[in-house]
Amino acid sequence: MKTLLINGSPHANGCTFTALSIVAEELEKNGVETEIVHVGQKDVHGCIACGKCGEQGKCVFDDVVNELAPKFAEADGLVIGSPVYYASANGTLTNLLDRLFYSAKCDKRMKVGAAVTSARRAGTTATLDQLNKYFTISEMPVVSSRYWNMVHGSKAEDVLKDEEGMQIMRVLGRNMAFLIRAIAAERQRNGLPEAEPQRIFTSFVK
């Protein structure tokens, strides 16, 4: 079992990485292998809706998105970490996630998802709402902790002093490991839930 953790911060060892590291530590303690990938300083183009990924099986922009796609396919869980910019996720990360979730054609159902946000003060809940939508549109169960998955501070040292935030990350890691193991066991016994054969799209303009 493996979880991919994506660090969307431009600071490789900053606040977001610190939070993700605590989650990863708990996952490892509970038998789930982890990999943290830092993408915050990558040059990531936004989706241009060209549709080429449907033909080629990968995004037309051959960058970190295509590097992450097979890791995403192999993972049982995905944790997305973002700093808060203007009460939302960082733009590089949003570009990456739009393209990754759209172009990666792997079955995302029942992969376990969690979002983690960091901020000096506010905007964390809005960013969590934004990031969680990638999971809920993909039939990915979302992991909770005992409070919203956020830490506070201007630098990594501040985050380590956020005792409540650190506890939230520890609980999140343990809850995620439990859910991954539970889904794996049920998949082995009975398989995944029955899938609808064709996705229905309804236009509200007639």
**Across residues 4-19, what is the average pLDDT?**
97
Per-residue pLDDT tens digits for 18-30: 999 999 999 999 9
Res 95 pLDDT > 90: yes
Which CATH superfamily is 2-190 part of? Answer: Flavodoxin domain (3.40.50.360)
**DSSP assignments along 25-94, one per residue:** HHHHHTT-EEEEEE-TTS--PPP----HHHHHSS-SS-SHHHHHHHHHHH-SEEEEEEEEETTEE-HHHH
Task: Provide the whole-model pTM.
Answer: 0.95
DSSP 155: S
Per-residue pLDDT tens digits for 123-137: 999 999 999 999 999
Percent share of the chain, pLDDT over 70: 100
Per-residue pLDDT tens digits for 164-195: 999 999 999 999 999 999 999 999 999 999 99
Res 206 pLDDT > 70: no
Sign of the C-alpha dihedral computed for residues 94, 125, 159 and 29 taken in this order: negative
DSSP 15: H
Per-residue pLDDT tens digits for 54-86: 999 999 999 999 999 999 999 999 999 999 999
DSSP 141: P
Per-residue pLDDT tens digits for 128-167: 999 999 999 999 999 999 999 999 999 999 999 999 999 9
Phi, psi angle pair for 111, to nearest 5°:
-70, 140
